[in-house]
A and B are shown apart, each in its own frame.
Chain A
């Protein structure tokens, strides 16, 4: 006999963080003086306290830490737990994890283009970016069994099965994407107005990047080559080759061009995955969830991953228990949104404020994870 529960249920809990971000500033002669960003947020119901729960119970909360980078948080947590439990995952799930990370990177790129084109008041690419976000979100949710906020990458492998229809959908999308990027090139990236409005605006000097430890595309646009996928490769990144580009100094123009060039890297990685993916039936090592096998070993783990906007870090300590002793995430927004933002916005003109904020791709909910 089979029973079914529940029939109509409420929308699932999405966000743990709730609040507003404000910037207060004074104006003189059209220039901004003494900006003060304020991340006035509040956490609901102590749900962020990872150190009070079982490591299995923490899994749905980890995937709700960030709206944009949910798969990077899941990947960090899963790989750390697997290292402490000393288990191996099936080979196919490594390929699928990298596939999901790259697809979310493409989604993050279109969100970035949406913000930039609305700051520039380019109406047409804004609508295009919106439809591209919809398109890729549909693909991601189809792979994830139509559950957007359910965790996909979990300790032990991947939660859902992977079918061959998904491969055909993604390969079709990649061919569409290559043509679509040429349209974007004509309308934004080779546009004279875009170049005139963004060159030598919002410059971040190289010394500031090295002092504060900025990572990601902002560092690469200032010629500080730092890509964790190449330096400390994880999953299958060791065997994949993708290009790296060189730029002169970091203004808004080079940051946008840097992100556009890295889409070609993502397409290369996805092509490699679909030509070399092994054929296996099971994507999950389910034995670690049985109650006897759940005890974490003693040790500390530091995990670093190249997220969409920069470097994501996890620090995890455990002492022979199911409940971990310390868990601490750190997002790249912590570095960008603090003192660096104040120094950048100092003395910019009011006309350029939108552009500078959009080019940094701020995600305020990640400030204090």
Chain B
């Protein structure tokens, strides 16, 4: 179990981390908090503004439904651009670590 702590952790603010399983080096990371994008399907009318503005081209409208890829960087531009406020960003926190101390 590898923990990234100290300066790196505070500067990078690692919240959500992918699980990369290498066959040679099995490394596991600890997840502190998960952020995700929430789409209210009742409000969304598939106007396509979010698809045009997406920086990483991760928002796609397929078969009359909006889908978001893993390549999303959570910049939040789609939330600003949506005319019906159908998109929101929310998070789930893990409990804080008990061995956190400041000098």
Instruction: Please give the residue numbers on chain A whose beta carbons come within 8 Å of chain B beta carbons, in ascending order.
Output: 1-14, 54, 56-57, 59-61, 127-128, 130-131, 133-135, 137-138, 141, 145-151, 154, 159, 286, 289-291
Of the residues A8, A60, A131, A137, contact of B77 by C-beta under 8 Å = A60
Output the least CB separation between A228 and chain B (Å): 27
Output the least CB separation between B37 and chain A (Å): 5
> Which positions 67-93 of chain B face chain A at CB distance < 8 Å?
67-77, 80-81, 83, 89, 91
> Inside 8 A of A134's CB, which chain B residues have their CB?
6-7, 9-10, 102
- The answer to whether residues A146 and B80 also contact, given A2-B39, A2-B40, A131-B102 and a CB cut-off of 8 A, is no
Of the residues A7, A54, A127, A130, contact of B53 by C-beta under 8 Å = A54
CA distance A10 to B70 in the complex (A): 7
CA distance A3 to B38 in the complex (A): 6
Q: Does B23 have its Cβ within 8 Å of any Cβ on chain A?
A: no
Q: Does B1 have its Cβ within 8 Å of any Cβ on chain A?
A: no
Output the least CB separation between A313 and chain B (Å): 25
CA distance A100 to B21 in the complex (A): 38
> Inside 8 A of A291's CB, which chain B residues have their CB?
49, 81
Q: What total of A-B pairs shows CB separation below 8 Å?
A: 118
> Inside 8 A of A131's CB, which chain B residues have their CB?
102-103
Do A141 and B13 touch (CB < 8 A)?
A: yes
CA distance A138 to B100 in the complex (A): 13
Do A59 and B77 touch (CB < 8 A)?
A: yes
- The answer to whether residues A290 and B38 also contact, given A9-B70, A57-B77 and a CB cut-off of 8 A, is no
A sample of 14 more A-B contacts (CB under 8 A), given A9-B16, A61-B55, A130-B6, is A4-B37, A5-B72, A6-B69, A8-B18, A11-B17, A60-B73, A130-B7, A130-B103, A131-B102, A133-B10, A134-B6, A134-B102, A148-B13, A290-B81
> Inside 8 A of B102's CB, which chain A residues have their CB?
131, 134-135
Chain B interface, number of residues (Cβ within 8 angstroms): 45
- The answer to whether residues A60 and B38 also contact, given A13-B73, A128-B103, A150-B75 and a CB cut-off of 8 A, is no
Instruction: Please give the residue numbers on chain B whose beta carbons come within 8 Å of chain A beta carbons, in ascending order.
Output: 6-7, 9-19, 33-42, 49, 53, 55, 66-77, 80-81, 83, 89, 91, 102-103
Do A6 and B72 touch (CB < 8 A)?
A: yes
Do A7 and B34 touch (CB < 8 A)?
A: yes
> Inside 8 A of B11's CB, which chain A residues have their CB?
133, 137, 148
Do B13 and A137 touch (CB < 8 A)?
A: yes
> Inside 8 A of B73's CB, which chain A residues have their CB?
12-13, 60
- The answer to whether residues A138 and B41 also contact, given A5-B67, A11-B18 and a CB cut-off of 8 A, is no
Of the residues A1, A6, A60, A148, contact of B75 by C-beta under 8 Å = A60
Chain B, Cβ-Cβ closest to A156: B80
Chain A, Cβ-Cβ closest to B93: A146
> Inside 8 A of B53's CB, which chain A residues have their CB?
54, 56-57
Do B33 and A146 touch (CB < 8 A)?
A: yes
Chain B, Cβ-Cβ closest to A135: B102
CA distance A96 to B57 in the complex (A): 32
Q: Which 9 A-B pairs rank lowest in CB-CB distance, beginning with the nearest?
A: A148-B13, A5-B68, A60-B75, A12-B73, A134-B10, A131-B103, A137-B10, A289-B80, A1-B41
